[in-house]
């Protein structure tokens, strides 16, 4: 480790992990993609400090994190809105912040949203595993969740920080409305289950993590009650265990599962799920695939439309 090019963890918070763009392409080995759950927030944090998109950041959960930087540089905090301080003084959020060597950078508890992203110029230079520095809670690959006293190496700065005072960010909604495309096992559920999915308000369970978000609310009745052989799972799959309440799978999800999947979230809505705090309300907007338009025999676009009320 180059002298001074490190960050020392002083307070790890409830759960802080190293994350980058993940390790896609290994599902056949039973390894999920992993990576930053709120990808736009991760990318913005890297842009603000002059990093490439694949540089590793610290993803915090709920209660933030506190670190000491070993050398002068630039930091940025994005994602969940949380007050930021440098040596006890208020600092910018969603902005490049210069810090002196030895400074204590504190991301406090999130006041809106759940996960914040702390980027350093040069990025976290933990050893990559299968091409990624991401912590995977399910398989145990990558760095362990952060603990007090950990020292994380930093890479060399790739470019200057962004020439902005503050960067615009998306809105962190108090109630989420998530688009869900039905299938592949919708036929295992009753028509009433599909109606309930689109008409009910659910709440995020405290038993949620990077593997999946468990929801509390109306149970979705099944038409077929026999066991389903294990089959592949994808990011954003909405699986329904035996109790009937849906689970939304996130980046550390298992690659195989035996409960039926009633639908899959629109990928653009996944960052919202990353910011869904325990107790927060969630609604689903059920959509169905439109026929793919073709030009000269080739697909032009796939679209979706709301399922009409029945």
52 and 157 Cβ atoms separated by less than 8 Å: no
CA atoms of 242 and 239, how far apart (whole Å): 10
User: How high is the pLDDT of residue 301?
Assistant: 41
CA atoms of 250 and 229, how far apart (whole Å): 21
CA atoms of 248 and 220, how far apart (whole Å): 14
User: How high is the pLDDT of residue 307?
Assistant: 44
Q: Is 233 exposed, middle or buried (0-12, 13-18, 19+ CB in 10 A)?
A: buried
Take residue 166 and report the two structure tokens written for it. Answer: 């503050």
Q: What is the phi/psi pair of residue 194, to 5°? A: -65, -40
User: How high is the pLDDT of residue 227?
Assistant: 86
Residue 14: partners with Cβ closer than 8 Å, 6 or more residues away = 61, 62, 63
167 and 52 Cβ atoms separated by less than 8 Å: no
Task: Give percent helix, percent strand, percent coil of the chain, each to the nearest 5.
Answer: 10, 35, 55
246 and 238 Cβ atoms separated by less than 8 Å: yes
User: How high is the pLDDT of residue 289?
Assistant: 61
User: How high is the pLDDT of residue 293?
Assistant: 53
pLDDT tens digit at each of 310 positions of the chain: 556 899 999 999 999 999 999 999 999 999 999 999 999 999 999 999 999 999 999 999 999 999 999 999 999 999 999 999 999 999 999 999 999 999 999 999 999 999 999 999 999 999 999 999 999 999 999 999 999 999 999 999 999 999 988 888 878 888 999 999 999 999 999 999 999 999 999 999 999 999 999 999 999 999 999 989 999 999 999 999 999 999 999 999 999 999 999 999 999 999 999 999 999 999 999 997 655 455 555 544 444 444 443 3
194 and 227 Cβ atoms separated by less than 8 Å: no
pTM for this structure? 0.91
Residue 106: partners with Cβ closer than 8 Å, 6 or more residues away = 11, 64, 65, 66, 84, 85, 86, 88
Give the domain ranges of the chain: 6-153, 176-306
User: How high is the pLDDT of residue 56?
Assistant: 98
CA atoms of 53 and 56, how far apart (whole Å): 8
CATH of domain 176-306: 2.40.100.10
- Dihedral-angle region of residue 37 (phi above 0 means left; psi in -120 to 50 means alpha; beta otherwise): alpha
Take residue 161 and report the two structure tokens written for it. Answer: 């920080």
User: How high is the pLDDT of residue 273?
Assistant: 97
């Amino acid at each position: 480790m180059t002298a001074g090019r490190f960050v020392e963890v002083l307070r790890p918070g409830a759960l802080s992990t190293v994350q980058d763009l993940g390790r896609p392409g290994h599902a056949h080995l039973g390894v999920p993609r992993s990576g930053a759950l709120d990808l736009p927030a991760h990318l913005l944090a890297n842009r603000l400090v002059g990093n490439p998109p694949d540089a590793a950041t610290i993803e915090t959960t709920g209660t933030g994190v506190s670190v000491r930087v070993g050398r002068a540089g630039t930091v940025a905090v994005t994602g969940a809105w949380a007050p930021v301080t440098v040596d006890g003084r208020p600092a910018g959020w969603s902005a490049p912040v210069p810090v002196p060597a030895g400074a204590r950078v504190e991301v406090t508890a999130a006041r809106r949203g759940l996960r914040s992203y702390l980027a350093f110029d040069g990025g976290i230079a933990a050893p990559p595993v299968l091409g990624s520095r991401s912590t995977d809670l399910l398989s145990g690959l990558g760095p362990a969740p952060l603990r007090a006293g950990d020292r994380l190496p930093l890479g060399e700065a790739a470019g200057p920080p962004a020439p902005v005072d503050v960067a615009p960010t998306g809105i962190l909604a108090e109630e989420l409305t998530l688009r869900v495309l039905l299938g592949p096992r919708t036929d295992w559920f009753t028509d009433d289950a599909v109606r309930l999915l689109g008409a009910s308000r659910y709440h995020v369970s405290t038993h949620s993590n990077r593997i999946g978000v468990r929801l509390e609310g109306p149970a979705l009745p099944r038409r077929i009650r026999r066991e389903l052989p294990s089959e592949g799972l994808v990011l954003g799959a909405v699986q329904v265990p035996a109790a009937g309440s849906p689970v939304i799978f996130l980046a550390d999800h298992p690659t195989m599962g035996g409960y039926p999947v009633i639908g899959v979230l629109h990928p653009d809505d996944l960052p919202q799920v990353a910011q869904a705090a325990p107790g927060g309300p969630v609604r689903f907007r059920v959509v169905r695939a439109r026929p793919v338009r073709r030009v000269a025999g080739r697909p032009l676009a796939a679209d979706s439309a709301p399922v009409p009320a029945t």
